[in-house]
């Protein structure tokens, strides 16, 4: 064993190290490269805490290394073994785990593709476990956590390199950089402070705090500058995208806050599903196949028409930006009567069960919502206040966390082409007022193109279909485009010059052209239908399904989707010309017989369904990690902090209740009776504590002793009520009298043993009394 007086335990340093470790492991888990990747977070934390404890201990490096090896072998094997089926015994689990690892290792050595992610998961688990336990040990033993921090930094760079959607924001990298540099500053100060103490150099007690505060301010400023340096440089380059953003950002105070993020949003994934009331078309981005949510529908889909998972619609356009000007809100609570839309026909109700992967501030809702099993706020429009005729977006109240589920019943339009042609142009006034808006400086070329495409066509449907087809045929799809020229409308530039676009521009072009023809339309953001897993009966909606589309209003029917984006499959509605397809309502999903014994059952809103979150599948690892982590943090960290605090005089040498009582007295506050008794008891010698525990026993068993009695009289009263305790009681009295009234030392062990025996005899006596009473026998004593 080694002396631990030279250890480097420092609460702030430990906190910075753990925060840096969590940042990197959480960044890895957030990539969702494979299932169960989140176990790395818990294992890394457990390893770090064990490493901190081993480093602070008096164990020699060899002994600490042995303990570390045993901990590693146990935790890694146990956690990976929990991922195997639970119906196997542990020996079989380990055999299956080893077999999976060996097969994948052989494929890897043969340079063949792997069909199982267990090898990657095991490597990540082992890597971050070793980083955690070794860096924690190095931190508290030698004050040198640098090797582990370098490994964490390299790992973060590699993760950002291979998972760019989140890496573009750089939040994790910035946080890690600040934490690592703060840890470096703190450890440098601690080493200097130790040297100053050895050399008896006087140092201000606030030096450490002032140094950390200054370091934090400087580091945050440096990181922010480094983070934005490329943009700052390009912002002064003529005709650069950054310069255009800077010019636009100075137009008004409102745009100053929103232009920073909106131009970058485009179709970029966000962790919190929320869209502001303004949206810039942007320049696009490369999307990933990361799952965003899954959804199960009571009816698989409309005939020829996919589902569109709407998040928000926009009505006002100006120079490459859409804005939602609707501000009416109405609360829709669980158990509220379902919404009704009597003004619309050719619609049917469908129930959807969503399971999002991201936090939802806005709710995915197809069609017009009828009811939800969550409390929400509807942003709505209509002919008069309080009358819901159109829903712009649905705000979660409160947010819906990742992994939970929610259910929504929606009114879905399913008209035929014939019905759309017959809908006419008798638009409600609220539709005309809001959804025919065009900017005053809209290029005439866009108006002329719309008129040219729809020449000779009469109905709004035929005009919308013609514009849709023209866009699909003449504008090539591209996930990203260059920044449009300054001073030119982005949609016009795409239509007549660039001729490449992604969904934001396809939809915007169609809406502008339709509005120029007097046809109400709007721009909608959300997700396309996604992939239907017929075996699991779910739609899997991924990041690459993020989408924008136009919707056209038809009187008596409502908003109808059109699909001008060439990347998406075209919509093929039934014509309605013949009897075979005049009724386009789909049939219930055959894979849900328990829900759809009758068609009406599928469209009924389940108001009694619980609105609380439903957790995703959790392995035993998750719960075990939480329990172990809680115990380790509450046990090891608090113990080490308290021990270190006593050595450094952070905490007073007196007990906690005594310290609390003293603090309250200094402030003139009233001391509770129970606190006085607790404080007095903790300040007694062990023999006194043993003797006064008899007072609690007498109170519990109602043995009449009073403070006016001498200790001998109190013991005699106890013996009178509990004769079998006489020997132990007299021994306890003798030891108490030694410490209270004589110069002779008392035997603490004898006193404590006597007190325990008296308690044992009291409980035994009380048990016999209860049994005798139940058996009808006379009682022998009154204890």
pLDDT digits (tens, 9 = 90+) for 58-99: 888 888 889 888 988 888 888 787 777 666 777 777 777 777
**Parallel/antiparallel/unpaired status of strands 278-280 and 321-323:** antiparallel
Report the C-alpha gap between 472 and 523 in whole angstroms: 17
Taking residues 400-410, report their average pLDDT: 86
DSSP states of 49-94: HHHHHHHHSS--HHHHHHHHHHHHHHHHHHHHHTTS-TTS-HHHHH
List the single range of 378-382, 389-393, 594-598 with lowest mean pLDDT: 594-598
Nearest CA among 773, 770, 750 for reference residue 762? 770
pLDDT of residue 506: 95
pLDDT attached to residue 519: 96
Q: Pick from 530, 524, 513: which is nearest to 475 by CA?
A: 513
Provide the token pair at 327.
């501000």
Q: Which residues sit opposite 735 in a β-bridge?
A: none
118, 35 contact by CB (below 8 A)? no
- Of 91-100, 649-658, 665-674, the poorest mean pLDDT is in 649-658
The token duo for 461 is 């449907």
Q: What is the mean pLDDT of the chain?
A: 77
pLDDT digits (tens, 9 = 90+) for 518-540: 999 999 999 999 988 877 788 98
Range with top average pLDDT, 219-228, 501-510, 721-730:
501-510
Q: What is the pLDDT of residues 178-212, one digit of tens each?
A: 888 888 877 877 777 777 666 655 555 555 555 55
> Of 53-62, 106-115, 261-270, where does the model show the most confidence?
53-62
| Stretch (H or E) spanning 656 | helix 656-666
d(CA 80, CA 122): 7
Higher-pLDDT residue of 341, 541: 541
pTM of the model: 0.47
Answer with the residue of higher pLDDT: 727 or 111: 727
**Bigger pLDDT: 403 vs 371:** 371
pLDDT higher for 4 or 14? 14
pLDDT of residue 562: 96
What pLDDT score was predicted for residue 265? Answer: 36
Span of 133-142, 261-270, 401-410 with lowest mean pLDDT: 261-270
> Alpha helices of 454-602 — where are they, by DSSP H?
460-474, 490-493, 503-516, 599-602
Residue 599 has pLDDT above 60, yes or no: no
Dist CA 20 CA 23 (whole Å): 5
pLDDT tier at 430 (50, 70, 90 boundaries)?
very high
How confident is the model over 249-278, as a mean pLDDT?
A: 47
Return the pLDDT at 497: 93
226 vs 439: CA distance, rounded Å:
39
* C-beta of residue 503 within 8 angstroms of C-beta of residue 565: yes
pLDDT at 74: 86
- Which residue in this structure is represented by tokens 């909606």? 541
Q: Cα–Cα–Cα angle for 47, 50, 54, nearest 5°?
A: 135
pLDDT at 347 over 80: yes
pLDDT at 510 over 50: yes
Instruction: Tell me 580's DSSP state.
Output: G
Segment among 236-240, 270-274, 655-659, 702-706 with least mean pLDDT: 236-240
* Mean pLDDT to the nearest integer, 443-447: 94
pLDDT in tens, 98-133: 777 777 777 777 666 666 677 778 888 888 999 999
3-state secondary structure of 33: coil
What is the enclosing helix (H) or strand (E) of 185? helix 171-198
Percent of the chain at pLDDT above 70?
73
Q: What angle do the packed helices 673-682 and 656-666 form, to 10 degrees?
A: 130
Among 681, 625, 468, 622, CA closest to 560 = 468
What pLDDT score was predicted for residue 404? Answer: 83
Q: Determine the longest span between alpha carbons in the chain, in angstroms.
A: 119
pLDDT tops 60 at residue 174: yes
At 662 the pLDDT is 76
How confident is the model at residue 505, as a pLDDT? Answer: 95
Span 590-594, mean pLDDT?
40
């Amino acid at each position: 064993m080694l002396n631990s007086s030279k250890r480097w335990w420092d609460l702030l340093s430990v906190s910075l190290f753990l925060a840096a470790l969590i940042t990197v492991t959480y960044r890895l888990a957030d990539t969702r490269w494979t299932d169960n990747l989140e176990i790395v977070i818990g294992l890394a934390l457990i390893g770090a805490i064990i490493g901190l404890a081993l480093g602070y201990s008096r164990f020699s490096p060899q002994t600490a290394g042995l303990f570390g090896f045993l901990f590693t072998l146990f935790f890694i094997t146990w956690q990976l073994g929990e991922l195997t089926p639970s119906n196997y015994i542990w020996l079989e689990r380990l055999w299956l785990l080893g077999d999976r690892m060996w097969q994948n290792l052989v494929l890897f050595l043969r340079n063949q593709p792997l069909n199982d992610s267990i090898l990657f998961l095991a490597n990540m688990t082992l890597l971050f476990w070793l980083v955690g336990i070794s860096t924690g040990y190095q931190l508290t033993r030698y004050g040198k956590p640098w090797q582990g921090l370098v490994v964490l930094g390299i790992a973060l760079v590699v993760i950002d390199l291979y998972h760019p959607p989140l890496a573009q924001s750089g939040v994790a990298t910035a946080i890690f950089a600040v934490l690592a540099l703060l840890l470096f500053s703190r450890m440098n100060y601690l080493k200097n402070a130790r040297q100053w103490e050895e050399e008896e150099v006087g140092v201000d007690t606030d030096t450490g705090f002032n140094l950390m505060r200054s370091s934090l301010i400087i580091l945050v400023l440096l990181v922010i500058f480094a983070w934005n340096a490329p943009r700052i440089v390009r912002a002064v380059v003529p005709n650069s995208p950054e310069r255009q953003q800077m010019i636009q950002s100075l137009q008004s105070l409102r745009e100053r806050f929103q232009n920073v993020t909106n131009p970058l949003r485009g179709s970029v994934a966000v962790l919190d599903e929320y869209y502001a009331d303004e949206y810039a078309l942007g320049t696009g981005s490369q999307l990933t196949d990361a799952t965003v949510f899954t959804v199960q529908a009571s009816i698989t889909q409309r005939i020829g028409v996919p589902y569109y998972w709407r998040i928000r619609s926009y009505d006002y356009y100006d120079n490459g930006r859409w804005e939602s000007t609707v501000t009416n809100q109405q609360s829709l609570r669980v158990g509220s009567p379902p919404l009704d839309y009597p003004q619309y026909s050719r619609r049917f109700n469908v129930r959807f069960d969503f399971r999002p992967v991201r936090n939802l501030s806005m709710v995915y809702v197809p069609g017009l919502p009828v009811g939800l099993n969550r409390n929400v706020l509807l942003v709505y429009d209509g002919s008069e206040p309080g009358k819901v005729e159109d829903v712009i977006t649905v705000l979660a109240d409160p947010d819906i966390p990742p992994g939970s589920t929610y259910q929504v019943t929606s009114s879905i339009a399913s008209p035929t082409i014939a019905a759309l042609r017959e809908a006419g142009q008798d638009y409600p006034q609220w539709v005309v007022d809001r959804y025919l808006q065009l900017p005053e400086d809209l290029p005439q070329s866009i108006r002329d193109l719309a008129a040219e495409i729809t020449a000779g066509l009469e109905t709004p449907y035929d005009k919308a279909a013609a514009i849709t087809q023209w866009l699909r045929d003449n504008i090539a799809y591209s996930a990203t485009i260059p920044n449009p020229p300054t001073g030119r409308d982005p949609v016009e530039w795409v239509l007549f010059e660039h001729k490449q676009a992604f969904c934001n521009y396809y939809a915007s072009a169609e809406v502008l052209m339709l509005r120029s023809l007097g046809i109400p339309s709007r721009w909608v953001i959300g997700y396309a239908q996604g992939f239907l897993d017929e075996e699991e009966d779910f739609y899997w909606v991924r990041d690459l399904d993020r989408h924008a589309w136009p919707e056209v209003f038809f009187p008596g029917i409502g908003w109808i989707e059109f699909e001008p984006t060439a990347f998406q499959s075209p919509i093929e509605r039934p014509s309605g010309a013949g009897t075979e397809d005049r009724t386009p309502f789909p049939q219930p999903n055959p894979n849900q017989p328990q829900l759809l014994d009758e068609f009406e059952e599928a469209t009924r809103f389940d108001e009694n369904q619980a609105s609380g979150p439903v957790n995703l599948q959790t392995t035993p690892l998750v719960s075990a990690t939480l329990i172990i982590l809680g115990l380790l943090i509450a046990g090891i960290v608090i113990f080490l902090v308290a021990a270190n605090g006593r050595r450094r005089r952070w905490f007073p040498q007196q007990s906690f209740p005594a310290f609390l009582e003293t603090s309250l007295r200094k402030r003139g506050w009233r001391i509770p009776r129970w606190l006085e008794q607790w404080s007095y008891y903790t300040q007694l010698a062990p023999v006194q504590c043993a003797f006064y525990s008899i007072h609690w026993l007498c109170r519990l068993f109602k043995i009449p002793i009073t403070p006016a009695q001498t200790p001998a009289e109190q013991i005699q009263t106890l013996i009178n009520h509990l004769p079998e305790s006489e020997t132990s009681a007299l021994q306890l009295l003798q030891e108490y009298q030694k410490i209270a009234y004589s110069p002779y030392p008392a035997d603490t062990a004898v006193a404590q043993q006597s007190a325990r025996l008296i308690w044992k005899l009291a409980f035994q006596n009380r048990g016999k009394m209860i049994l005798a009473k139940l058996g009808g026998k006379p009682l022998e004593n009154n204890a």
